[in-house]
Amino acid sequence: MCFLLDFHLTCLMQLIPLFPILAGYTVGILAEWFDIPAHFSVIITMFITAAQLESLIFCFEKKHQAIATALNVHIIPKSIELFCYFLCIVSDGPILG
Give the global pTM: 0.74
Dmax (CA) of the chain: 56
How far is C-alpha 47 from the chain's CA centre? 5
Cα dihedral sign for 47, 53, 54, 55? positive
Phi, psi of 46 (to 5 degrees): -65, -40
Q: How far apart are the first and last CA of the chain?
A: 21
- The larger pLDDT score, comparing residue 79 to residue 96, is at 79
Number of helices (H) and strands (E) in the chain: give both, helices first.
5, 2
Nearest to 88 by CA among 61, 70, 65, 63: 61
pLDDT in tens, 8-64: 989 999 888 898 988 888 999 998 999 999 889 888 898 888 888 888 888 998 999
What 3-state class would DSSP assign to 15?
strand
CA distance 34 to 13: 11
| Residue 94 pLDDT | 61
